């Protein structure tokens, strides 16, 4: 999820002569800035998503004996908390394509990083799922579909709605907890992790409560399980877009909101005149 301030900005590279003439940064400083603003965040998203999907798949595969939601729910939530605290200051710790899309549309990151983030997350999902496959026996892996998502209901509309609602809750917590300046909180990593755990408990028996196309895509590629895979793209994407609508129209701060700005400015000026 995003940093407390959206500090990823487009970096304009000056020519060395121009930079020196203007007292600008040296070529070494420029390369370091490019690396830290573009390359390092993508690497953090790649590694973070790899670890997240690995733990997520392993928690499902290793849970075949009990077949309860406790192990996957707690494992997904805990690893989210840890990874956000590890990588949040580098990349924002999204590890989820629809979270990146939601944050971009809410003004929390630059467009130039959106596609590289999504690519890194999908690659990380495949690597994490592959590592989980190597760790477990083929029998256990096959019985659990390698941690791939599979709706437990034949009503695909209900499964899709579940993904919409679970992702809406998750992305709302993300945006309100770390993007919106009025509601931003240092405890956001714990809020997000607990939300993931609660959502798995709430929707796991219907759709699996994926909320993350990268979490669905990686195991689907490695295990070759594509049944109803579209649910885990359509549902989370719709949930994230609903969050964007709510934040941009209703709950965002004055910088984020796209309506009622004028009224707020008028009221503020009136208060300033009377004071």
For residue 253, what pLDDT band results from cuts at 50, 70 and 90?
confident
Predicted confidence at residue 175, as pLDDT, reads 94
Predicted confidence at residue 25, as pLDDT, reads 58
Q: Is residue 246 part of a domain?
A: yes
Q: Tell me: the pLDDT tens digits for 113-130?
A: 999 999 999 999 999 999
Q: Is residue 49 part of a domain?
A: yes
Top-confidence residue, 72 or 259 = 72
- Residue 213's domain comprises 16-274
Helices marked H in 154-209 — which ranges? 156-174, 188-203
Nearest Cα to Cα of residue 91 among 146, 53, 47, 154:
47
Q: Which sign does the torsion angle of CA 6, 176, 106, 1 carry? A: positive
Arithmetic mean of pLDDT, 8-33: 50
Domain count, the chain: 1
Arithmetic mean of pLDDT, 74-86: 97
Q: Is residue 115 part of a domain?
A: yes
Q: Is residue 198 part of a domain?
A: yes
Give whole-number Cα distances, 88 to 6, 41, 178, in Å. Answer: 11, 9, 10
Distance of alpha carbon 199 from alpha carbon 215, whole angstroms: 15
Q: Is residue 157 part of a domain?
A: yes
Predicted confidence at residue 7, as pLDDT, reads 41
CATH of the domain at 165: 1.20.1080.10
Residue 26 has pLDDT above 90, yes or no: no
Q: Is residue 2 part of a domain?
A: no
Q: Tell me: the pLDDT tens digits for 143-180?
A: 999 999 989 888 999 999 999 999 999 999 999 999 98
Residue 13 has pLDDT above 50, yes or no: no
The model carries a pTM of 0.84
Arithmetic mean of pLDDT, 235-253: 94
Q: Is residue 1 part of a domain?
A: no
Q: Is residue 3 part of a domain?
A: no
What does pLDDT average to over the chain? 87
CB distance 45 to 91 below 8 Å = yes
């Amino acid at each position: 999820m995003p940093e407390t301030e959206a500090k990823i900005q487009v970096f304009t590279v000056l020519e060395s002569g121009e930079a020196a003439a203007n007292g600008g940064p040296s070529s070494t400083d420029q390369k370091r800035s490019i690396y830290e603003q573009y390359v390092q965040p993508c690497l953090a998203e790649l590694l973070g998503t790899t670890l997240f999907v690995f733990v997520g798949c392993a928690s499902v595969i290793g849970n075949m004996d009990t077949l309860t939601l406790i192990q996957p729910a707690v494992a997904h939530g805990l690893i989210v908390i840890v990874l956000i605290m590890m990588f949040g200051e580098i990349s924002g710790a999204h590890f989820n394509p629809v979270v990146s899309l939601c944050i971009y549309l809410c003004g929390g990151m630059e467009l130039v990083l959106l596609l590289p983030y999504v690519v890194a997350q999908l690659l990380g999902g495949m690597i994490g799922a592959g590592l989980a496959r190597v760790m477990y026996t083929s029998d256990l892996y096959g019985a659990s579909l390698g941690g791939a998502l599979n709706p437990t209901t034949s009503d695909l509309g209900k499964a899709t709605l579940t993904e919409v609602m679970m992702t809406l809750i998750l992305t709302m917590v993300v945006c309100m907890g770390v993007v919106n300046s009025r509601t931003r909180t240092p405890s956001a990593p714990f809020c997000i992790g607990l939300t993931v755990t609660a959502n798995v408990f709430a929707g796991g028996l219907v759709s699996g409560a994926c909320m993350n196309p990268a979490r669905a895509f990686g195991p689907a590629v490695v295990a070759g399980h594509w049944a109803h895979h579209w649910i885990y793209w359509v549902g989370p994407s719709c949930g994230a877009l609903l969050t964007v609508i709510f934040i941009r129209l209703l709950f965002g701060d004055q910088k984020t909101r796209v309506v009622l700005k004028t009224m707020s400015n008028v009221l503020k000026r009136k208060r300033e005149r009377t004071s």
